[in-house]
């Protein structure tokens, strides 16, 4: 199995926990590596913006010596977006349904990030 | 010459496939490579020539639908789009095609049909095999290899070009080597890469016996509709504050989004361009110094860079040069955009070159991004430079 296929598998496993509408893996500098989209949209733009958010958040906190954020969570009326680093080179991001519980998603996302880190 | 219709490949092949010669798309498993043969088929037919498509693993009706998916209407091509049906016989279905192989597992039967189709063509055309590997699975490896030689000779008689889609499943070493190196006049490898962390698909010329083979690898992407596009995953657009970077990204892109607040870009512009066989994702950086950490973060792994300058504002040129440093652009192909040429007091590209003391191998091109003047010329220049890099 190629690395690309393995990454796809990580995302499809992540999708099995339910209420995840889109998930993607990208480089820290915003290039798409793999996406599992169940909503209409452009995954390239989705990950480019996610990488910017995560990078901006990291810069904002580390400038004030508050360390590196574990994740960035964005809540809207229509859902949630969670973006997390996966090793120094990659990041993983999910978009959920509005009623999704964050607890399980964070646990699974952390596991997925660990796997991605090992794969890359 | 019969053009392959694959962007850049025809340039590298010095125009295409000479009549009477053969070409194999040598496709690594897992890559969606059969589109190459389809694109060559459609390109030839839509240019008013004849094309024969040998269907060996798909129902001919499904094949027409597959072409439709790419926006290639086969009905419009009328009787120039010919299918040799080597599939229906397998499942015992009726066929509406003119050429039907009654027993696709018998290579002689297949050869008979293909020869007949070649003879009937009214002028030189192309014969495309949907999947040579399927034929090999059905008829046997050595039988198929012998048949290919026969088909290629026959094509020579009638000045047709032969094009094979071949997926390199684990056949015997000899067979694979034979197909890659001996049996056809040219071979194009189509594979996937996991180089660094970006995943992509590439094609490159392995062999072409009518020319010196350029050692080039081209990244591609398959788009629907559209087909095969040469793909550049990241082009960076940078430059000082208020130089027109966002306007430039939007002028160039088919679709683009920006994160703008109070009239300036604070995060990035992201655009997507699909232009003359090329597709690229474009990242535009903010220009103000307080956003430099983000600029640095987003500029990794770019394949080419546009530096956008406001031609009327020489005071900011130094900042522009500084941004090339921040984005670590030196060493990458760079095109400088002398923007806002319509404004009074705009410096000419040559004046800008002098002020920046830029070497002459960095093109400086005039543009007016607000009405798209010069932006596509600049894109073509940068793409050419990116393609020259190995």
Can you give the CATH number for the domain in which A91 is found?
3.30.450.30
Residues on chain A touching B192 (C-beta within 8 angstroms): 2, 4
The verdict on residue A43 lying in a domain is yes
Q: Say whether A27 and B198 touch across the interface (CB within 8 A).
A: yes
DSSP string covering A33-64, please? EEEEESSSS-HHHHHHHHHHHHHHHHHHHHHT
Q: Say whether A55 and B294 touch across the interface (CB within 8 A).
A: yes
Distance from CA of B178 to the nearest CA of A (A): 26
Contacts 24+ apart (CB under 8 A), B205-210: B205/B9, B205/B12, B205/B13, B206/B26, B206/B180, B206/B181, B207/B180, B207/B181, B208/B13, B209/B21, B209/B185, B210/B14, B210/B18, B210/B21, B210/B185, B210/B186
Q: What is the number of H-type helices and E-type strands within chain B? A: 13, 16
DSSP string covering B59-84, please? -HHHHHHHHHHTT--SGGGGGGEEEE
Tokens of B353: 């070159």
**Containing domain of residue A40, as a range?**
3-102
The verdict on residue A115 lying in a domain is no
CA B278 from centre of chain: 6
Q: Nearest Cα to B163, choosing from B188, B134, B138, B136?
A: B188
Number of domains in chain A: 1
Distance from CA of B324 to the nearest CA of A (A): 17
Q: Considering only the beta carbons, identify the residue of B197, B298, B300 that sits closest to A52.
A: B298
Residues on chain B touching A52 (C-beta within 8 angstroms): 259, 267-268, 294, 297-298
Burial B303-314, CB ≥16 within 10 A → b, else e: bbbbbbbbbebe
The CA angle B297-B324-B300, to the nearest 5 degrees, is 30
User: How many A×B Cβ pairs under 8 Å?
Assistant: 75
Residue A63 has pLDDT above 60, yes or no: yes
* Structural domains of chain B in order of their starting residue, each with its CATH number: 9-225 (3.40.50.300), 232-388 (3.40.50.300)
Distance from CA of B255 to the nearest CA of A (A): 10
Q: Say whether A89 and B197 touch across the interface (CB within 8 A).
A: yes
Q: Nearest Cα to B218, choosing from B6, B4, B2?
A: B6
Query: Would you call B193 an interface residue with chain A, using a CB distance cutoff of 8 Å?
Result: no
- Give the H or E element holding residue B304: strand B304-310
Residues on chain A touching B234 (C-beta within 8 angstroms): 29, 31
Regions of chain B short of the pLDDT cut 50: 196-197
Q: Considering only the beta carbons, identify the residue of A31, A56, A120 that sits closest to B267.
A: A56
Output the pLDDT for position B380. 95
Quote the CA–CA distance of B53 and B72 in Å, as a whole number. 14
Between B245-252 and B375-388, two packed helices, what is the crossing angle to 10 degrees?
Answer: 80
> Hey, which bits of chain A come out as E strands?
20-27, 32-37, 72-76, 79-86, 90-96
| C-beta atoms surrounding A33 within 10 Å | 24
Give me the interface pTM, i.e. the ipTM.
0.78
The verdict on residue A113 lying in a domain is no
Question: Per-residue pLDDT tens for B341-365?
Answer: 999 999 999 999 999 999 999 999 9
The verdict on residue A120 lying in a domain is no
Average predicted confidence (pLDDT) for chain A: 92
CA atoms within 13 A on the CB side of B37: 29
Tell me the three-class secondary structure of B20-49, residue by residue.
CCEEEEEECCCCCCHHHHHHHHHHHHHCCC
Output the pLDDT for position B197. 46
Distance from CA of A32 to the nearest CA of B (A): 8
Question: Per-residue pLDDT tens for B79-132?
Answer: 899 999 999 999 998 999 999 999 999 999 999 999 999 999 989 999 999 999
The verdict on residue A85 lying in a domain is yes
Dmax (CA) for chain B in angstroms is 77
Quote the CA–CA distance of B55 and B192 in Å, as a whole number. 25
Chain A, residues 44-103, CB within 8 A of chain B, namely 44-45, 48-49, 51-53, 55-56, 59, 89-90
The verdict on residue A10 lying in a domain is yes
Q: Residue B4 has what DSSP assignment?
A: -
| C-beta atoms surrounding B255 within 10 Å | 12
The verdict on residue A34 lying in a domain is yes
The verdict on residue A12 lying in a domain is yes
Distance from CA of B263 to the nearest CA of A (A): 18
Q: Residue B369 has what DSSP assignment?
A: G
Query: Would you call B255 an interface residue with chain A, using a CB distance cutoff of 8 Å?
Result: yes
């Amino acid at each position: 199995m190629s690395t690309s296929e393995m990454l796809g598998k990580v995302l499809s496993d992540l999708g099995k926990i339910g209420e995840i509408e889109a998930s993607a893996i990208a480089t820290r500098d915003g290039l798409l590596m793999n996406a599992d989209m169940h909503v209409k949209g452009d995954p390239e733009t989705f990950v480019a913006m996610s990488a910017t958010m995560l990078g901006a958040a990291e810069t904002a906190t580390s400038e004030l010596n508050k360390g590196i954020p574990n994740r960035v969570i964005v809540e809207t009326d229509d859902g949630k977006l969670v973006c997390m680093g996966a090793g120094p080179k990659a990041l993983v991001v999910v978009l959920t349904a509005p009623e999704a519980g964050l607890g399980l998603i964070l646990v699974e996302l952390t596991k997925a990030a660990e796997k991605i880190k090992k794969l890359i | 010459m019969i053009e392959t219709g694959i962007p850049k490949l025809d340039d590298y092949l010095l125009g295409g496939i000479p009549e009477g010669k053969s070409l194999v798309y040598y496709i690594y498993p897992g890559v969606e490579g059969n589109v190459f043969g389809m694109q060559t088929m459609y390109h030839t037919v839509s240019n008013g020539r004849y094309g024969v498509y040998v269907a060996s693993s798909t129902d001919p009706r499904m094949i027409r639908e597959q072409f439709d998916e790419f926006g290639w209407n086969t009905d419009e091509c009328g009787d120039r789009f010919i299918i040799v049906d080597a599939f229906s016989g397998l499942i015992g279905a009726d066929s509406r095609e003119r050429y039907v192989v009654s027993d696709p597992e018998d290579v002689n039967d297949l050869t008979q049909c293909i020869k007949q189709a070649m003879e009937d063509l009214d002028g030189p055309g192309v014969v495309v095999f949907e999947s040579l590997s399927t034929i090999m699975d059905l008829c046997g490896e050595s039988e198929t290899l012998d048949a290919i030689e026969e088909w290629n000779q026959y094509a020579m008689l009638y000045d047709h070009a032969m094009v094979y889609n071949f997926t390199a499943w684990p056949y015997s070493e000899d067979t694979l080597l034979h197909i890659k190196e001996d049996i056809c006049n040219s071979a194009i490898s189509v594979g996937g890469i996991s180089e660094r962390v970006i995943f992509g698909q590439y094609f490159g010329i392995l062999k072409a016996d009518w020319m010196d083979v350029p050692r080039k690898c081209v990244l591609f992407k398959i788009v629907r509709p559209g087909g095969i596009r040469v793909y550049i995953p990241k082009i960076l657009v940078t430059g000082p504050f208020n130089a027109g970077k966002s306007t430039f990204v939007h002028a160039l892109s088919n679709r683009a989004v920006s994160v703008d607040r109070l009239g300036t870009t604070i995060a990035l512009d992201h655009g997507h361009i699909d232009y003359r066989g090329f597709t690229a994702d474009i990242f535009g950086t903010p220009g103000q110094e307080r956003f430099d950490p983000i600029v640095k973060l987003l500029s990794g792994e770019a394949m080419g860079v546009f530096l956008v300058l406001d031609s009327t504002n020489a005071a900011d040129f130094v900042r522009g040069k500084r941004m090339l440093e921040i984005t670590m652009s030196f060493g990458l192909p760079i095109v400088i955009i002398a923007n806002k040429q319509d404004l009074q007091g705009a410096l000419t590209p040559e004046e800008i070159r002098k002020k920046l003391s830029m070497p002459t191998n960095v093109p400086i091109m005039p543009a007016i991004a607000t009405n798209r003047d010069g932006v596509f010329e600049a894109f073509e220049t940068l793409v050419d430079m990116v393609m020259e890099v190995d």
